A = this chain, B = another copy of it.
Amino acid sequence: MRSLARLVSLVEDGASAADSGGPAPPLRAVLRAVAPHTGTAWVIGLTGSPGVGKSTVTDRLVRAYRETGRRVAVLAVDPTSPFSGGALLGDRVRMSDHATDSGVFIRSMATRGHLGGLSLAAPQALRVLDAAGFDVICVETVGVGQAEVEIAGLADSTLVVMAPGLGDSIQTAKAGILEIADAFVVNKSDRPGAQDVVRDLRTMLAMAGSDRDRGGGWKPPIVSVTATTGEGIDELTAKLGAHWTWLGESGLRQERRVKRAREEISAIAVAEIRRRVGALPGESRLDELAAEVAGGKLDPYSAADELIAD
Residues of A within 8 A of B (CB): 18, 27-28, 31-32, 34-39, 49-52, 78-83, 89-90, 112-113, 117, 123-124, 127, 142, 144-149, 166-168, 170-172, 174-177, 179, 254, 257-262, 264-266, 268-270, 272-274, 277, 286-287, 289-291, 293-305, 307-308
List of B residues within 8 angstroms of A123 by Cβ: 300
Q: How far is the CA of A143 from the CA of B265 in the complex (A)?
A: 29
CB-CB nearest in chain B for A90 = B170
CB-CB nearest in chain B for A163 = B167
Beyond A80-B148, A273-B273, 19 additional pairs, beta carbon < 8 A: A18-B301, A27-B301, A31-B299, A35-B296, A36-B296, A39-B294, A79-B145, A79-B146, A80-B145, A81-B176, A123-B300, A124-B300, A142-B145, A166-B166, A259-B290, A264-B300, A266-B307, A268-B301, A273-B277
Q: A182 CB to closest chain B CB, in angstroms? A: 18
State the copy count for this chain. Answer: 2
Q: How far is the CA of A295 from the CA of B38 in the complex (A)?
A: 8
The residue from B147, B166, B298 contacting A51, defined by CB atoms under 8 A apart: B166
The residue from B82, B170, B293, B305 contacting A175, defined by CB atoms under 8 A apart: B82
List of B residues within 8 angstroms of A113 by Cβ: 149
**A36-B296, A293-B261, A294-B260 known; A144 vs B269 contact (CB < 8 Å):** no
CB-CB nearest in chain B for A259 = B290
In contact, B166 and A35 (Cβ under 8 angstroms): no
The secondary structure that dominates the A interface is helix
Q: A281 CB to closest chain B CB, in angstroms? A: 15
Q: A235 CB to closest chain B CB, in angstroms? A: 25
CB-CB nearest in chain B for A112 = B176
The residue from B38, B51, B174 contacting A171, defined by CB atoms under 8 A apart: B51
In contact, A265 and B300 (Cβ under 8 angstroms): yes
| 25 interchain pairs, CB-CB under 8 A | A18-B301, A31-B300, A32-B302, A34-B299, A36-B296, A49-B167, A50-B167, A51-B168, A52-B167, A112-B149, A123-B300, A142-B145, A142-B171, A144-B145, A145-B147, A146-B147, A257-B294, A259-B290, A261-B289, A264-B293, A266-B286, A269-B304, A269-B307, A269-B308, A272-B308
Q: How far is the CA of A172 from the CA of B266 in the complex (A)?
A: 33
**A50-B166, A79-B145, A117-B146 known; A286 vs B273 contact (CB < 8 Å):** no
Q: Top 7 A-B pairs ranked by shortest CB distance?
A: A51-B167, A262-B290, A268-B304, A144-B144, A261-B293, A79-B145, A31-B299
The residue from B177, B265, B290, B300 contacting A293, defined by CB atoms under 8 A apart: B265
List of B residues within 8 angstroms of A261 by Cβ: 289-291, 293-294, 300, 303
Most B CB within 10 A of own CB, among A50, A79, A145: A145
